[in-house]
């Protein structure tokens, strides 16, 4: 079944709405599918299969990039992996650590070789580079994968030229941008419709009190946004770990304690805001001098989500204005309460 036929069937079934911007990229997806369906051809003096140009799909949040990539992924019958880009880079760092324990001089080389031996097709969701260490690694890693004939399809909210924008020593990263443009077809998915926002249209985003009804509402929203799929995402920030217990396609779900009950700071929350577009935060308690540290972290978290335009869906012990009514910091919390109210509006973040 071709990509176009599969897409048409989903439209006919009412699962998808026909979207001109999505339809425009289907020939590129079909190009990749058809090429990967062909028997592997190897040159006389070359062990790697012939190179197949990959695909870099970029565009705004909720335009259907991940859905289209998944559609292709399900149709491809070849050794393959689908990973969120943050999770993939975590795997790379872990494998490099193991390689160093074995005394390998270039710890990246065996990682690239292992990956190329195991897969021919790599699908990455939400490529973005925010860490200087990752910025220095990805160029060499991708070059090795491309040389071994691995086909990469990735989604991103940014065009290649905006990756690691304003990052430290960015001039060292620009050869990777050139590599992406050379080895992948860059396609903008310029749909005017934010389908993720549509799925939340008319849905409350702040539930209080925390009871069985609120928990069920959150469970329903999570099921709608995750399509029943999730993985743990661990962000590494300057030696610390920020764990998002459930994550899928830019949507994360965590408990208040996961993010505010641990000694995290602004840098950790910035990494979180870079990694997710929707955060479902459960069990926000009443705040006071008895949990002052947690309250301060919550204020920082909300400020970071607000500035990053991350959509917040939460359960809380009280309304925003009544969350923090006594103890040091109540005056400062008024701004947080105001932001929580603003973030509930239907058009916030668009």
Residue 259 belongs to domain with CATH number: 3.40.50
Question: Is the whole-model pTM more than 0.75?
Answer: no
Interval 51-62: pLDDT, tens: 799 999 998 877
Percent of the chain with pLDDT over 70: 93
Tell me the C-alpha distance between 205 and 202, whole Å: 9
Q: What is the pLDDT of residue 202?
A: 63
- Range from 220-234, 278-292, 329-343 that averages highest in pLDDT: 278-292
Cα separation, 9 vs 7, whole angstroms: 5
Please tell me whether residue 83 adopts helix, strand or coil conformation. strand
**Phi and psi angles of residue 85, each rounded to the nearest 5 degrees, phi first:** -60, -40
Residues 29 and 109 in one domain: yes
| CA 19 – CA 40 distance, rounded (Å) | 34
- Is 206 part of a structural domain of the chain? yes
Structural domain boundaries, residue 65: 3-188
Nearest to 187 by CA among 55, 68, 64: 55
Domain identity same for 37 and 61: yes
**Structural domain count of the chain:** 2
Number of H helices, E strands in the chain: 13, 11
pLDDT at 108 over 90: yes
Q: What is the pLDDT of residues 176-200, one digit of tens each?
A: 999 999 999 999 998 887 666 565 5
> What is the structure's pLDDT at 44?
45
Q: Say which range, 24-33, 82-91, 120-129, 282-291, has the weakest mean pLDDT.
A: 82-91
Same domain, 201 and 310: yes
Specify the pLDDT at position 41: 63
- Residue 243 corresponds to which tokens in the numbers above? 């764990």
Strands ordered across the beta sheet of 151-156: 80-84, 121-125, 151-156, 54-58, 184-188
pLDDT digits (tens, 9 = 90+) for 1-11: 999 999 999 99
Res 239: pLDDT: 72
Residue (of 161, 155, 167, 192) closest to 68 by Cα position: 155
Q: Which two tokens stand for residue 334?
A: 């008024």
């Amino acid at each position: 079944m071709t990509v176009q036929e599969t897409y048409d069937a989903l439209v006919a079934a009412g699962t998808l709405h026909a979207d001109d911007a999505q339809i425009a990229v289907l020939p590129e997806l079909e190009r990749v599918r058809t090429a990967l369906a062909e028997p592997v051809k190897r040159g006389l003096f070359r062990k790697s299969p012939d190179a197949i140009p990959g695909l870099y799909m970029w565009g705004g949040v909720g335009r259907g990039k991940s859905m289209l990539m998944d559609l292709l992924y399900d149709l491809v019958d070849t050794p393959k992996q689908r990973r969120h880009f943050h999770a993939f880079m975590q795997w790379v760092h872990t494998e490099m650590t193991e390689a160093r324990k074995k005394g390998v001089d270039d710890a990246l080389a065996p990682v690239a070789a292992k990956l190329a031996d195991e897969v021919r097709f790599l699908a990455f969701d939400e490529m973005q580079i925010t860490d200087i260490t990752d910025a220095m690694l990805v160029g060499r890693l991708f070059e090795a994968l491309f040389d071994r004939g691995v086909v990469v399809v990735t989604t991103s909210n940014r065009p290649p030229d905006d990756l690691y924008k304003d990052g430290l020593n960015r001039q060292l990263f620009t050869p990777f941008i050139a590599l992406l443009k050379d080895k992948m077809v860059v396609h903008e998915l310029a749909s005017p419709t934010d389908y993720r926002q549509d799925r939340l249209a008319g849905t409350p985003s702040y539930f209080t009190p925390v009871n069985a009804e609120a928990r069920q509402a959150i469970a329903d929203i999570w099921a709608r946004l995750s399509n029943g799929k999730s993985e743990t995402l661990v962000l590494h920030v300057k030696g610390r770990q920020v764990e998002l217990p459930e994550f899928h396609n830019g949507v994360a779900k965590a408990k208040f304690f996961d993010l505010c009950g641990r000694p995290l700071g602004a840098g950790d929350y910035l990494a979180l805001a870079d990694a997710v577009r929707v955060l479902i935060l459960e069990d926000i308690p009443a705040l006071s001098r008895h949990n002052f540290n947690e309250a301060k972290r919550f204020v920082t978290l909300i400020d970071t989500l607000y500035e990053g335009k991350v959509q917040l869906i939460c359960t809380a012990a009280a309304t925003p204005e009544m969350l923090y009514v006594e103890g040091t910091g109540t005056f400062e919390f008024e701004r947080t309460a105001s932001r929580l109210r603003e973030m509930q509006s239907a058009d916030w973040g668009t």
